[in-house]
Each structure stands twice: as structure tokens, then as C-alpha cells.
Amino acid sequence: MKHRIAISALASVSPLGSDSDEIAAHYAGTHTAIEMKNLGAQAYWMACLPEAEQQRLETLRQSEAKYKALDPSVIMALDVSRRAVAQAGWKKGDVIGINIGSSRGATHLLEQYHEEFMTTGKTATLSSPTTTLGNLSSWVAHDLKSAGPEISHSITCSTALHAVLNAVAWLESGMADKFIAGGSEAPLTPFTLTQIKGLKIYSRETEGYPCRAFDLNKTRNSMVLGEGAAVIALERDNAHALGYITGVGYATDDLEHNTSISDQAECFQKSMKMALGSISPNEIDAIVMHAPGTMKGDVSEFKAIEKIFPNKLPLLTTNKWKIGHTFGSSGLLSIELALLMLQKQTFFGTPFQEQYLIEKPIRNVLVNAVGFGGNAVSILISNS
């Protein structure tokens, strides 16, 4: 990278709330936000937004008539983008690039409109414009009155980190001075949950933690879905930044199956190596793993880490045991965890691994994400 890219602000809304101090306190505890809830005729493990956050988002929805028809994923994107811009000290009307993605997009509205069509043979006027993936960045740009480029995309579960890659490229090239990047996902719908159950990877735990992400001793899959959104405000430099992006990496696996990842997660090996660049592996203090709670996914990523860090493993963690897998927004929520560890100088681990005392300051944290298609991304976050 030619420049270190400053993270001037980060805003999120997730099952842990939206206040950074409260989120850090949640990570310091052993409680999971995953609960068993009924959805239609079925009960599922899921991680939902707290009631107070849902009410706050509903107030935003009702603030403008045209927002009432938008999908929850878009409303969350509006919320986190407003707060990130305010934190960064940017103003409405600034030239701000926007890249916010989603794995599934307008899931709630798609299912609602499809049910209406199957029942009546007709659908509402707004069924098409409100379900396009471009809704995310275009509505955020409208809300911020921004004059910059607007990009929405889906690269499954690595969507948010691909948005960061794109933002870094724009900033490095000089084509933009300010960029918002992240993801938004509202996947807690009957069809989406049934799809993931159909893959035979959804949690069937009946006691203890429903999602046993990065528990290498588990004997069955334990993935759970959660909802949330997060974005970061990026600039080429800022002396008062929350942290800095000092390395980026990406790679794609040679897949044998639509949902698989190679046994040694070669995509992660390549993406982590690229993100490290000339930095010694010994300088990496922690890794926020993708670790979705599936048996093969968790183990293969761990094997990849062992390959890249053969002398001494960094501290390893993930947040999916606590907030579930939030698909397209998960990578950015992992960056949030990385930044909190840098700011608090505290390692937030999982209940399934031995907890380590910090032997030295936490200065460099690597963040991993991968999605269907084996498209891995690694982002190196540093405090200077």
C-alpha cells in the first residue's frame, strides 16, 4: 500500500447494540446474544437487534414518507452511515464515496412481494425499485446528499471487506478523498433461515452456546444467523484516527463444491500473506477469524493460519458465537472487534479456547472473511 488508510469513524448496529462502550462491555462478558425465537411456524436460533435499536430504526423509517417502503437492510445502512459521517466530522453534501454491500439484499421485501405474487398474481408498484441491490448505497447517498460515487455489491459473506478493498483502491488512486465502506444484512426471514438449514450447517445445539464458532472440538455444525450493519469512514490520513488499514489481501479458492472451502483454506493463506506484505508474521498480535461455526470452515481457516504463522500463533478469536453470522456485514463487525481490542488493549476471546493474558501491547490485528465461492479477504488493522 502506498498510503496508510485512516479509519476516521466506525458505526454499527448489531445484536450488541450501537454504542461502542456497551459493545466492548458485551465482548468482555461470556453471554451470547443468540436466542431461540419463533418465526412463523418454526423456532430458530438467531441473534436479533435489541428492542431499543429496533425502535430507534423504526423512528428513522417514519421520518420520511419515502423511507417507509424501504427494506430493513436499507434502513440500517442509513442509520450507520449517518452516525459514521457525524463521528468523522464530515458534512452533508461532501464528496463522499459510498460502497455498502449485502449478501442477500432486500430479503424481507423480496419474500413479502414474492408471497403476494404467488397469492394474487400481482405485485406492488414499488416491488422492483425497493428490492434492487443498489438500494443500499443510492439511498445512503440521497440521505447524506453526497456527490461521490455510489457502489453496491454482493460477494456473499466477504461483502463488507470487499467494500473496504474497493474504498482503499479509490483512496490510493486519488480518485476519492473520503469513503464510506461496509455492509448491511437483515436475513432473519423464513425462507433465508430455511435455506441455511437446508445446507445442514445450522445449529441444532440444545444446551450451552448455540453457535460454537472456533470450537475445534465440536462434533457437528453450529452456524447461527444474526442481523446488523456497520460502516467505516476512510481517509488517506488522519492523526486522530481510530486505527489504520496497513495491509489488504484477497484470493479465491479452487472449489470442488458450491459451498466448500479447501481443506487448507488456500484462499486464506494467500489473502493473509498478501495483507502482511513485508511485515513479519511475528508482528501480528491477534486475528479475528471468519469462523462461522461450521466444522469444515473453522478447521480449514485454523489450518491456514498455522501455515502462515508457523513459529507462534497470534491470539485467535471470532464474534459469531456471540452475534451469529451476519453475512454481508460480518466482516465489518469483525473490524469493529479488532478496533475495540486495539483501543481497549484487551483481547476478547471465545469461551471455547484457552484465554491468554496479553504479553505485549496489541498493535496489529488481522481480520478475515470468506464467502460462498471461496472469495477470501484479509485486512490488517494497526493502531499507528
Look at residue 337 and tell me whether its pLDDT is greater than 90.
yes
Same domain, yes or no: 174 and 157: yes
Interaxial angle between packed helices 330-344 and 159-173, expressed in degrees from 0 to 180 and rounded to the nearest 10: 70
pLDDT tens figures, 84-105: 999 999 988 899 999 999 999 9
- Cα–Cα distance measured from residue 271 to residue 356, given in angstroms and rounded to the nearest whole number: 26
C-alpha torsion angle, residues 60, 61, 67, 72 (rounded to 10): 110
Same domain, yes or no: 309 and 361: yes
Same domain, yes or no: 119 and 227: yes
Percentage, residues of the chain above pLDDT 70 = 97
- Cα–Cα distance measured from residue 313 to residue 315, given in angstroms and rounded to the nearest whole number: 7
Last residue of a domain, one of 217, 235, 253: 235
- Cα–Cα distance measured from residue 307 to residue 269, given in angstroms and rounded to the nearest whole number: 7
Q: Where are the beta strands (DSSP E) in the chain?
A: 5-13, 35-39, 42-47, 97-101, 150-151, 178-185, 225-226, 228-235, 243-252, 286-288, 315-317, 364-369, 375-382
Same domain, yes or no: 313 and 331: yes
Which residues lie across from 245 on neighbouring strands?
5, 381
pLDDT band of residue 19 (cuts 50, 70, 90) is very high
Same domain, yes or no: 320 and 345: yes
Percentage, residues of the chain above pLDDT 90 = 90
- Cα–Cα distance measured from residue 282 to residue 160, given in angstroms and rounded to the nearest whole number: 27
- Least confident range from 154-163, 176-185, 251-260, 339-348: namely 251-260
Per-residue confidence (pLDDT) for residue 255, from 0 to 100? 65
Look at residue 249 and tell me whether its pLDDT is greater than 90.
yes
Query: Of 205, 199, 184, 207, nearest to 135 (Cα)?
Result: 184
pLDDT tens figures, 281-335: 999 999 999 999 999 999 999 999 999 999 999 999 999 999 999 999 999 999 9
Same domain, yes or no: 209 and 64: yes
For 157, phi then psi, to 5°, come to -80, -10
pLDDT tens figures, 149-167: 999 999 999 999 999 999 9
List the grid coordinates of 228: 446488523
Give me the CATH number covering residue 319. Answer: 3.40.47.10
Same domain, yes or no: 271 and 200: no
Same domain, yes or no: 101 and 17: yes
The whole model's pTM is what? 0.97
Per-residue confidence (pLDDT) for residue 256, from 0 to 100? 62
Same domain, yes or no: 153 and 297: no
Question: Cβ(146)–Cβ(293) under 8 Å?
Answer: no
How many separate domains does the chain show? 2
pLDDT tens figures, 200-213: 999 999 999 999 99
Look at residue 260 and tell me whether its pLDDT is greater than 60.
no
Same domain, yes or no: 181 and 260: no
- DSSP secondary structure, 142-163, as one string: HHHT--S-EE---BTBTHHHHH
Last residue of a domain, one of 235, 253, 288: 235
Domain extent for 316: 244-382
Report the pLDDT averaged over residues 129-153. Answer: 95
